Amino acid sequence: MANSPIRTTRLPSGQAVPVLGQGTWHMAEDQSKRSHEIAALRLGLDLGMTLVDTAEMYTNGAAEELVGEAIKGRRDEVFLVSKVLPNNAGRRQAVAACERSLRRLGTDRLDLYLLHWRGRVPLSETLEAFEELVKTGKIRAWGVSNFDVADMEELESLPGGKAAATNQVLYNLTRRGIEFDLLPWCDRRKIPIMAYSPIEQGDLAGHSALQSVAARHNATPVQVALAWALRRDTIIAIPKAGTVEHVRENRAALDLNLTDEDLAALDRAFPPPARRRPLEMI
């Protein structure tokens, strides 16, 4: 079990959050796995992975209910993140959606509430809802997910739009497009990127380049993929782990220090972007 403290990064508000959290996409889909998933989330909290990310969309709210059960009695330890669907992002609808999420999670507040992706509702209307939720104490901060540079620029131009705490996007070795423009844009504004699917839903584990690097460090390819994503101070990775063994594997990635040789080998296998690419989503 890793013993080193978890490194943190800061949101624009100054709030420190762990750079390695826990995702819950695809959790609560199989009742037979429920006890294992709850045990995994609780172990993650024990190991300092106290940022837990979920969404009303995940298993139609069942993932939020599972998280609520996992954090019961430990709410104050957790930096809790959830997301609102675009079709629920209207002025009144977003407030109601947040209240439903709070009930499922068994809490009176979210630490961070994200717009899951852009839809037809004007961003200005969603911001009004977020501001109301902040004022009433139902959320502490808000942010966005799956926003490209043009979306972020539009957001920034709106009243209150500069208060965005994060942008949660797809980012891993096979999805490096954000390094060309979105990541530098956010870095300049000290907005951390929250990376979902940092292991490409497990697919990276079988890649020979990661296996070679892992062998040099007596590590696993999963740990190499996570260590690579976390090499930047402004990245928060939120891998899902449905078993305690996987949680321990993810946590140990923070103790893996990739060398310049390792990073060069990974760049050869997964070249960084040489031009702008459209934002990718899963």
Smallest Cα–Cα separation from 259: which of 217, 230, 202?
Answer: 217
Q: Can you read off the two tokens belonging to residue 240?
A: 């899902």
Q: What are the beta bridge partners of residue 240? A: 23
Separation between Cα atoms, residue 152 and residue 169, nearest integer Å: 12
Q: Tell me, yes or no, if 58 is annotated catalytic.
A: yes
Q: Is-contact 83 114, C-beta < 8 A?
A: yes
In the chain, what is the straight-line distance between the N-terminal and C-terminal CA atoms, in Å? 32
Q: How many secondary structure helices (H) and strands (E) does the chain include?
A: 10, 10
Structure tokens at 49: 């992975």
Q: CA 94 to CA 72: how far, in whole Å?
A: 25
Name 22's bridge partners: 52
Candidate list 58, 113, 171, 196, residue with the active-site label: 58
CA–CA–CA angle 191, 196, 201 (5° rounding): 165
Report phi then psi at 53, rounded to 5. Answer: -110, 130
> Catalytic residue numbers?
58
